[in-house]
Amino acid sequence: MEYKLIGKNFTPPDIEAKVTGAAKYAEDFQADGMAHVKIFGSPMPHGVVNSIDLGEAEKVPGFLAALVPDEVKQPGPAGFPILSNKPTYFGQPIVAIAAENEQAAADAAAAVKVDMTLLPFVVDPLESLKPDGPDALEGGNIASRGIDFQSLKWTGKDFAMVGEDELPRGEAPIEWMFGDIEEGFANSAVVVEESMVHATNAHQAMEPRSAAAYWENGKCHVWGSTQSTSFAQPGLARLIGIELSDLVFVAEFCGGGFGGKATSYPLMALPALVSKKIGGRPCLLRVSRVEEYDNGMARSGFQGWMKLGFAQDGKLLAADMFMVQDLGPTSGFRDYNNVGIASTIVYQPASMRFRAVPVLTNTTPKGAQRGPGENQAANMVEPLFDKAASELGIDRLAIRRINAPGGGGADAKIGAAQGPVTSAYLKEALDKGAEAFNWVERSANSGMQNGSRARGYGIGQAYHSAGSNGFDGLVRITPDGILHVHSGVGNLGTYSYASTSRVVAEALGYDWDNVVIERGGTQKHIPWNLGQFGSNTNFTMTRSNYVAAMDAVLKLKEIAANAFGGSPEDYSLENERVFKTSDPSASLSFAEAAQRAIEMGDKYAGHVLPEDIHPMTQASAKAIAGTGLVGVAKDNLEKEGTVPALAVGFIEVDVDLETGKVEILDYVGGADCGTVIHPDGLAAQVRGGAVMGFGLATTERHVYDPAYARPNTRTFYLSKPPTILDVPLKMGWVATDQPDPQNPMGMKGIGEPLQGAASAALINAISDALGGHLFNRTPVTTDMILNAAEGLPQSHKPLATNTV
């Protein structure tokens, strides 16, 4: 279908503020008399506070107040407290200090004396599962949604049954299966069985999670850094202990989130609680980079085991997977769940068993990071497909094509229940990517040597669910003719807040220059929108914006029918006018219709609202009622099945066998994201996701001091996100551009799997350059490459998580 705006490039309205420095992030706001907040973090990975001595801190000139754990609501077991007197990770905030300036706050925090007793701690999940292994929390070592907090120990026999290089497989609280895996393995021509490790790594958003807050007239004002303007609010209100309606929340820009700022988080509430203690005075918590590494989020790691059975043609007949997840010190995120789900949709196994154990550790708190579980799955499973292809003697593209869902995905199945998907074009993405990369011809150069450099090629595939439903849209046409699209989705940097707003303009036939996006905080009267995470924005927001636009369309026609007679069906829209189809002279401009909406009142001006919309949308619609024609609705459109975002990556590398350095020569990313809504924005995501994937594949990981569980990767230099010198000079992209039938304009999301496809492709290419060496460990670091190139054993134990 030919659109006026959809599929066309545009300049996002907030981008100029980014290049001029005018964009205001959380800590760029300043208020008169602003006090500064600093935290005293736990000096040990697990301990109990015996006493807190504030005597010296209070003497620091400028000291204002201290907030201690007893003054803060504490969550249940394996929860994530704002302040804790039983810290479960290094650096966890115990005391917050407010002072006149930041130096004084830092001095006072340094003068706090906390007497603590060290408790048993653990950084390696398998250690905790041993019969006499330590629990990360008092009373338990496993917890997750649907799994009660408890202590789980495997037997000595469980560990003795396997060698050092195989994952022990004891009791698992998560187990599901479909089909007959025994029959599948019996019928397999090749069975691949491997154990593997996937490291944890930090989100490393450029903007630390700073926040500021003050209280005025009973309302709490917060400036925060979040991916999700609407969706973050209920959780933040709960953390602060106020009603949602008493929160004034400003979050215009977010300096990177990647899942780590998906909604609200404990530190975002801290300045508000400290401010309350000093009479509502503005308080700024400026989080340092080290504090961000300590308290910011991290991706969960895995120790895993997989057995895959393939037919002679490469079809995956049986998959058996066992995952031990490093949860960190809280119930974290269910990455394990997504490892299983991703494997079902990308490879369409005929039978599968999935078991998992989420284990608590005294490490940096874990949360969702771009493709949480799905991208680790890509890094763990994709290399096994290369091994199987090699053993079957078939091409690495062919083994992926034969398993990939395609042709729309009518036959595709997903998850334990083998449910339907809304659309799937992974096979087509593989074909388009392979063509753009020229895979067949180029991959023939695999292993080619040039001096000390060996050439390698790799393919990667990844998945993430890409859409939800049931959220609200809110739009308004004012008497000056301007269309206001109210958006609470957030501004993570994908510009999807803007591209999804274009759906409203498209549906109403608006000139984009006459559209204003109202966003950035409660002061803009935003509707209840899903957060900007989970690759869902394009699908979810376009639906909610579409239904609000359709409500506006109907109201425009009703207003015209009221003016000129007839029924709404007799009217059409064009050039920002509503007119009688049979007599175009009977017409109103949208500006005139907006004026009439105000005069007619009732639902037209937002005085009467649908009953099924969220209280947040109700409040926002009431706030703008009477200012124009208000279109507001909940997305009740049909949705059946899971929306899959699918991505592929093709990569060419040179691996220096003398230094272990990997140089990426070329990369092509491919996306199945439905109708392309904003080509330049998609290109930025394909490339940016790939760059994050390169880091995930080769350099990024946590390292803890084994004796004290002190994190040792708390700088960019040590945690190592890719720089411009680590990426190829040019990176290509393709998209299937096939509409999803369950979105009014065919869109679905894509952000997350773009990373996993690239990281898996890179891991596979490094292996390819080394003659197919299987690392079974992510990231593949320089020393691992050197050891492999020289035929030496690796310096780490096969299943150890905490390696240098």
**Does residue 636 belong to the site contacting another protein (CB under 8 A)?**
no
Please, which residues have CB within 8 angstroms of residue 96's CB and are 6 or more apart in sequence? 37, 38, 39, 40, 66, 67, 83, 270, 273, 274, 285
Binds another protein by CB under 8 A, chosen from 5, 38, 220, 527: 38
**Burial of residue 514 (number of CB atoms within 10 Å: 0-12, 13-18, 19+):** middle
Among 29-37, 299-307, 427-435, 572-580, the segment contacting another protein (CB under 8 A): 29-37
Does position 67 interact with another protein (CB under 8 A)? The reply is: no
Considering the rule CB under 8 A, would residue 513 count as an interface residue with another protein? Answer: no
Of residues 1 and 725, the one with the C-beta less far from another protein: 725
Nearer to another protein by C-beta: 362 or 494?
494
Residue 221 to residues 44, 207, 212, 226, Cα–Cα distance (Å): 33, 20, 8, 15
Residue type, 306: M
* 15 vs 186 by CB, closer to another protein: 15
| Binding segment toward another protein, per CB under 8 A, in 34-42, 189-197, 467-475, 782-790 | 34-42
Binding of residue 715 to another protein (CB under 8 A): yes
30 binding another protein? (CB under 8 A) = yes
d(C-alpha 456, C-alpha 665), whole Å: 10
The yes or no reply on residue 205 touching another protein (CB under 8 A) is yes
Phi-psi region of 525 (alpha: psi -120 to 50; beta: other; left: phi over 0): left
Q: Are strands 35-41 and 63-67 parallel, antiparallel or unpaired?
A: unpaired
179: contact with another protein by CB under 8 A: no
Cβ(639)–Cβ(742) below 8 Å: yes
Question: Judged by CB under 8 A, how many residues of this single chain contact another protein?
Answer: 70
389 binds another protein, rule: CB under 8 A: no
Cα gap 141→238, rounded to integer Å: 27
**Residue 717 sits in the site that holds another protein (CB under 8 A):** yes
DSSP 717-781: HHH----GGGS-S-EEEEE-----TTSTT-B---TTHHHHHHHHHHHHHHHHHTTS----EES--
Which one of 347, 471, 495, 579 is in contact with another protein (CB under 8 A)?
Answer: 495
Rounded Cα distance, 440 and 134, in Å: 51
Whether 769 contacts 775, CB under 8 Å: no
CB of 15 to another protein, least distance (A): 5
Query: Using the rule CB under 8 A, which residue among 723, 790, 792, 797 binds another protein?
Result: 723
Should residue 26 be labelled a site residue for another protein when binding is judged by CB under 8 A?
no
Q: Is 697 among the residues that bind another protein (CB under 8 A)?
A: no
Nearer to another protein, 104 or 126 (CB): 104
| DSSP-derived 3-state class of residue 800 | coil
Determine if 479 is a binding residue for another protein (CB under 8 A).
no
Q: Cα–Cα distances in Å, from 121 out to 130, 197, 367, 691, 756?
A: 13, 21, 20, 34, 31
Q: Rounded to the nearest 5 degrees, what angle is found at the Cα of 96, between the Cα atoms of 90 and 99?
A: 135
What one-character-per-residue DSSP string does 146-181 give?
Answer: TEEEE-----HHHHHTS-TTS------SEEEEES-H
Residue 716, interface with another protein (CB under 8 A)? yes
Report residue 30 as tokens. 């300043």
Residue with smaller CB distance to another protein, 29 or 708: 29
* Nearer Cβ to another protein (308/750): 750
What element of type H or E holds 783?
helix 782-789
- Stretch of 212-220, 599-607, 634-642, 723-731 contacting another protein, by CB under 8 A: 723-731
Choose one: 170-178, 192-200, 566-574, 690-698; the region binding another protein (CB under 8 A).
Answer: 690-698
Does 721 help bind another protein (rule: CB under 8 A)? Answer: yes
Out of 50, 101, 312, 523, the only residue in the binding site for another protein (CB under 8 A) is 101
Which are the contacts of 346, defined by CB distance < 8 A and separation ≥ 6?
377, 378, 381, 403, 404, 405, 426, 461, 462, 463, 646
Question: Which window, 95-103, 169-177, 303-311, 590-598, contacts another protein (CB under 8 A)?
Answer: 95-103
Exactly one of 4, 16, 157, 449 binds another protein (CB under 8 A); which one?
A: 16
Q: Is residue 724 a contact point for another protein (CB under 8 A)?
A: yes
Binding status of residue 663 toward another protein by CB under 8 A: no
Site for another protein in 302-321 (CB under 8 A): none
Q: Which two tokens stand for residue 689?
A: 């996701």
**Residue 519 phi, psi (nearest 5):** -155, 170
**Residue 268 carries which DSSP code?**
H
Using CA atoms, how far apart are residues 317 and 183, in angstroms rounded to an integer? 9
Between CA 482 and CA 491, with CA 485 as vertex, the angle to 5 degrees is 130
Range in contact with another protein (rule: CB under 8 A) among 102-110, 319-327, 620-628, 778-786: 102-110
Please work out, in degrees rounded to the nearest 5, the angle formed at the alpha carbon of residue 115 by the alpha carbons of 112 and 121: 115
Q: Does 113 bind another protein (CB under 8 A)?
A: no
Please identify which residue in 477, 492, 549, 593 interacts with another protein, judged by CB under 8 A.
Answer: 492
The two structure tokens encoding residue 505: 């303009």
**Does residue 18 belong to the site contacting another protein (CB under 8 A)?**
yes
Q: According to CB under 8 A, which residues from 275 to 294 bind another protein? A: 286, 288-290
Q: Which of residues 219-258 bind another protein (CB under 8 A)?
A: 253-258
Kindly report the number of other CB atoms within 10 A of residue 509's CB atom: 17
Interface segment toward another protein; rule CB under 8 A; list 7-15, 331-339, 546-554, 769-777: 7-15
Q: Counting contacts by CB under 8 A, is residue 688 touching another protein?
A: yes
Give the binding site for another protein (CB under 8 A).
11-12, 14-25, 28, 30, 34, 36, 38, 61-62, 100-104, 106-107, 110, 204-208, 253-258, 286, 288-290, 492-495, 680-681, 683-684, 687-692, 715-717, 721-725, 727, 729-731
